[in-house]
Amino acid sequence: MQLTQMQCLIVEDMDALRKIMAEQLRQLGFGQVLQADCGRQALDMLQRMQIDLLLLDWSMPDGHGQELLESLRQQDKWQDLPIILVTANAHRSLVEVAMKYGVSDIIAKPFNSKTLQARVLQALTRRHKRTQVAPSSAMAAKIDATATTETAPALNVVLVVDDMPDNLAFMAGLLNDDYKVLFAKDGKAALKICQSATPPDVVLLDVMMPEMDGHQVLQALRIEPRTTEIPVIFVSALGEVEHHLQGLRGGAIDYLTKPVQPEILKLKLANVLAQVQRQRALQQECDELLRLAQLKDNADSIISHDLKNPLATISALAQKLAQDKSFPKEWLPKINLVDELALQSINTVNLTSDILRIEAGQYALDAEWFSVHEMLKQLLQAAQVNFHSKQLVAYLSPDEDPCSSFDVMGDPKLCHPMLFNLIKNAFEAARPKTKVAISLSRHEGDVLIAIENTGAVSADIREQFWEKYVTQGKAEGVGIGTYAARLFARAQKGEANLVVDDAKSMTRIVIRLPAAIDAVVGE
Neighbours of 380 (CB within 10 A): 18
Specify the 3-state DSSP secondary structure of 126: helix
What is the model's pLDDT at position 152?
A: 44
Work out the pLDDT band at 106, boundaries 50, 70, 90.
Answer: confident
pLDDT tens per residue, range 37-46: 888 889 899 9
Q: Which of 202-216, 240-254, 462-476 is the least confident region?
A: 462-476
Q: How many Cβ atoms are within 10 Å of 355's Cβ, its own excluded? A: 20
- Stretch 104-132: mean pLDDT, rounded? 75
Is residue 371 over pLDDT 80? yes
**Using one digit for the tens of pLDDT, what is the confidence trace for 152-196?**
444 689 999 999 999 998 998 899 888 999 999 999 999 999 988
What average pLDDT score do residues 342-347 get?
74
Least confident of 88-92, 216-220, 335-339: 88-92
Checking phi first, is residue 14 left (phi over 0); if not, alpha (psi -120 to 50) or beta? beta
Of 33, 35, 89, nearest to 66 by C-alpha is 89
pLDDT recorded at residue 301: 58
Phi and psi angles of residue 255, each rounded to the nearest 5 degrees, phi first: -145, 115
Write down the pLDDT at residue 518: 56
- In this prediction, residues 383-406 reach a mean pLDDT of 91
User: How big is the CA angle at 96 (ends 93 and 98), to the nearest 5 degrees?
Assistant: 110
If one compares 342 and 295, the residue with the highest pLDDT of the two is 342
Higher pLDDT, 295 or 287: 287
Residue 119, pLDDT score: 86
Please tell me the total number of residues recorded for the chain in this structure: 523
Q: Specify the higher pLDDT residue, 162 or 228.
A: 162
The C-alpha atoms of residue 288 and residue 279 are separated, in whole angstroms, by: 14
pLDDT score recorded for residue 133: 41
- Residue 8's DSSP bridge partners are 33, 53
How confident is residue 332, by pLDDT bands cut at 50, 70 and 90? confident
Angle value at C-alpha 141, between 137 and 143, nearest 5 degrees:
115
Which run of H or of E encompasses 109?
Answer: none
Q: Mean per-residue pLDDT for 46-51?
A: 92
- Residue 496: per-residue pLDDT: 95
Q: 452 or 303, which is more confident?
A: 452
Residue range 54-79: average pLDDT?
80
> Coil, strand, or helix at residue 372?
helix
Please check the confidence at residue 522 and state whether its pLDDT lies above 50: no
Q: Sheet harboring 393-397: ordered strands across?
A: 393-397, 435-443, 446-454, 506-514, 495-501
User: What does the pLDDT read at residue 74?
Assistant: 83
Tell me 155's DSSP state.
-
Radius of gyration in angstroms for the set of CA atoms belonging to the chain, rounded to a whole number:
32
Which of 158-167, 279-288, 297-306 has the least mean pLDDT?
A: 297-306
Cis ω before 110 (30° cut-off from 0) = yes
Q: Torsion over CA of 133, 137, 143 and 149, rounded to 10 degrees? A: 160
**Averaged pLDDT, 21-29:** 89
Residues 6+ apart with CB under 8 A from 355: 480, 483, 484, 487
Q: For residue 322, give Cα distances in angstroms to 327, 419, 444.
A: 8, 28, 47
pLDDT in tens, 432-462: 999 999 999 999 889 999 999 999 998 888 8
> CA angle 225-229-235, nearest 5°?
120
Q: Which residue has the higher pLDDT, 519 or 202?
A: 202
* Percent of the chain whose predicted confidence (pLDDT) is above 90: 36
pLDDT of residue 497: 96
Q: Is the Cβ–Cβ distance between 353 and 417 less than 8 Å?
A: no
pLDDT of residue 470: 62
Is pLDDT of 105 > 60?
yes
